[in-house]
A and B are shown apart, each in its own frame.
Chain A
Amino acid sequence: MAPVHDLPTEQAEPEQGAGALFVAVEDVHKTFGTHRILKGITLRVSRGETLAVLGRSGTGKSVLLRLIIGLERPDSGAVRIHGQDIAGLTLDEMGAIRKKMGFLFQHAALYDSLTVGENVGFPLAHHRRDLSQAERMERVKQLLVEVGMGGDQEKMPCDISGGMQKRVGLARALALEPEILLLDEPTAGLDPISSGEIDELILKLQRERQMASIVVTHDLHSARTIANRLALLDLGKVVVEGAFEDLQQSDIGFVQQFLKQW
């Protein structure tokens, strides 16, 4: 991968006319046991947009992503993908929607009995049976080169670092050319150089593919770099949403306190 130089502090504006609403979270509530995690979250992300969701640990950011991909069901409210409420869908119906989505888990969640190449090719092996084995392998190779892991196909997940696992996880998330990309803490636990490389990669993918992306992070620098809009969560609600400048101009005490840490 090319070394990181000066990362752009402003990201490309979405294409003109690219505002089709891809993801809509409408007044979603979620409780686990007696803990109310989300208390009425409303967010919208359109094609070509990147929304960064920030907040303290434990405020429900990852739960929000799990609700959008359908791994959790909201207690009330709606999660709509391309206008369709996913709450009442069966596993197989949800599968048709998930083929258009890519999800990077916080700890990559690679399949530890498969090689790096097999991990990336796993969605292709199941959903692109029209491709020959050679075509699938070529696609896997391209994806791994794109994330800077070309040549590592035969390695096992236990043989690579956490940062490398994240790259492989990102390659796997991109395998089916998704329209919606969900990233859970893509730079958590990485050194600053690796974080910058992941940020650059996400920006590059956004420019090329114009996906609707939601990035959960508590890295404000990364969020400023890659996102069009930022949403700050606290106590289960969206406290403020907008460009970074909107956050800076907010007079809400929590927002100012959060920004001060950076």
Chain B
Amino acid sequence: MDAPPGEPVKAGWAAVAAPATGAVNSVLEWFGELGIFSWKALCAAVTPPYEWRELIRQLDEVGSKSFPLVALAGAAIGVVISLEARYSLSRFGAKSMFPATLVYSVVQVMGPILTGLVVSGRVGAGMGAELASMKVTEQIDAIEASAINPYRLLAAPRILACILMLPLLTLAADACALLTGWFAQAMVEPLSFHQFINSGFNGATFNSFLPQTFKTAVYGLIIGVIACFQGMRTRGGAEGVGRAATNSVVLASLFLILADVVLVKLILVVFQ
């Protein structure tokens, strides 16, 4: 008996729809679980007892230990922008704009995103791997079995440390970038640091720079939440730990960049 004429078409759609539906389901489940995790971490963070000792330890881990890398990255980007800006501005006869160009480029754009990506790589991978390793060796289960809230002990201090440290690290990166950028320029043409700062910040207000610096607190929230979430839901032994570390960095970096697009627009609308 021949199959009805519509059957091959239906079978074709099913073959395409099933994997697509599965992928969409997975993405929605991921966001759902992330939402639940974030809520539990928030509730744990705002209810006592507070894990002050663990928070201080994480502030050191995220802040002090990321400082050398962030400072170096800032210094390097300062030189790069300085060299590129001098060349470009010379072509258009606008060399006098160099200080302002460097200052605005670093403080408003490059400093925050660079700091976010560097910290996402260092801290995101480290946190994701550490928590994943604890998960696969049942240490997180042991914490919970000891009547200690793992969200309060592990997730909340890490997320809070990232939120608090990112703006400070951004300031450090900005300072190093401006210093090396000025130095690279001063090697070619005489320009005192005092003159450079006066010229660069001429006409600037707090609104020109502070929102861009403190938006990195949102970056810190993204890095902390993603890294802790990926780590604490790991399965699969050593392979799972590696996957958690990689996913922490990739997803945190991706969401950070997307967040930057939204935050830049928001800052322009609200503050300027």
Contact = CB atoms under 8 A, between A and B. Distances in A.
Given A109-B138, A111-B139, A71 B145 contact: yes
Contacts of B142: 103, 105, 109-111
B141 interface: yes
Task: Among B40, B47, B141, find the residue whose CB has the most chain A CB atoms closer than 10 A.
Answer: B141
A1 interface: no
Interface stretch (B17-25, B72-80, B115-123, B146-154): B146-154
Interface in B127-151: 134, 137-139, 141-149, 151
A91 interface: yes
B145 A98 contact: yes
B138 A105 contact: yes
Contacts of A105: 138, 141-142, 145
A172 B134 CA distance: 17
A99 B147 contact: yes
A112 B137 contact: yes
B105 to A, nearest CB: 41
A97 B147 CA distance: 8
A251 interface: no
A122 B149 CA distance: 13
Interface in A104-151: 105, 107, 109-112, 122-123, 126-127
Interface in B16-53: 40, 47
B141 A71 contact: yes
A20 to B, nearest CB: 21
Contact of B147 (A66, A98, A109, A172): A98
Main secondary structure, interface of B, reads: helix
A6 interface: no
Contacts of A172: 146
A107 B137 contact: yes
A92 interface: yes
A98 B146 contact: yes
Contacts of B151: 91
Contact of A69 (B143, B145, B149): B145
Contact of B149 (A70, A71, A95): A95
A95 B145 contact: no
Pick from A92, A103, A105, A126 the residue with the most CB of B within 10 Å. Answer: A126
Nearest to A119: B142
Interface residues of A, number: 26
B146 A107 contact: no
Given A109-B137, A112-B139, A103 B145 contact: yes
Contact of B40 (A66, A91, A101, A110): A91
A2 interface: no
Contacts of A91: 40, 144, 149, 151
B138 A107 contact: yes
A123 B138 CA distance: 16
B77 to A, nearest CB: 34
Contacts of A71: 141, 144-145
A226 B139 CA distance: 27
B147 A96 contact: yes
A122 B141 contact: no
Contacts of A111: 134, 139, 142-143
Nearest to A107: B138
Nearest to A111: B139
Contacts of A97: 147
Contacts of A126: 146-148
Nearest to B137: A109
A126 B154 CA distance: 14
Contacts of A103: 142, 145
B148 A95 contact: yes
A123 B146 contact: yes
Contacts of A66: 141
Interface of A: 66, 69-71, 91-92, 94-99, 101, 103, 105, 107, 109-112, 122-123, 126-127, 172, 176
20 contacts: A66-B141, A71-B141, A71-B144, A91-B144, A92-B47, A95-B147, A95-B149, A97-B147, A98-B145, A99-B147, A101-B145, A103-B145, A105-B138, A105-B141, A109-B141, A111-B134, A112-B137, A123-B146, A123-B148, A126-B147
Which 3 A-B residue pairings sit nearest by Cβ, starting from the closest? A98-B147, A109-B138, A109-B142
